[in-house]
């Protein structure tokens, strides 16, 4: 049990969280990027983390999209595609 807690704490050190605000009315993207080339976080741990974090974050950022990505995904690529998707959806809702 003690080792498991230590492993979880070390895994959290390899978690980078970014919030991209796209609209002043409160929509955007919350990106969790986990792992490094030297330390890959287990999928089970990520699933547990999602289960605990998502309800809290949905309360704080109700209209945001949540992405959980491994370290090797380039954020610039994701940022472009996700921002485009969300902006398109916002425009559809407004009828633009």
pLDDT of 8 reads 52
> What is the number of domains present in the chain?
1
pLDDT of 3 reads 53
pLDDT 10s digit of each residue in the chain, 96 long? 455 555 555 555 677 777 877 777 777 778 888 777 777 777 787 788 788 888 888 888 888 888 887 777 777 777 677 777 766 776 676 665
pLDDT of 4 reads 54
Cα 33 to Cα 71: distance, rounded to the nearest angstrom: 6
Cα 16 to Cα 11: distance, rounded to the nearest angstrom: 11
For 59, the domain range is 2-94
- Tell me the pTM: 0.58
């Amino acid at each position: 049990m003690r080792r498991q807690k230590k492993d979880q704490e070390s895994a959290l050190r390899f978690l980078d969280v970014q919030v991209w605000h796209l609209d002043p009315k409160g929509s955007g993207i919350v990106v969790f990027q986990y792992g490094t080339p030297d330390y890959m976080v287990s999928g089970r741990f990520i699933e547990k983390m999602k289960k605990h974090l998502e309800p809290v974050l949905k309360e704080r950022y109700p209209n945001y999209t949540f992405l959980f990505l491994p370290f090797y995904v380039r954020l610039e690529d994701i940022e472009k595609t996700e921002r485009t998707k969300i902006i398109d959806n916002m425009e559809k809702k407004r009828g633009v």
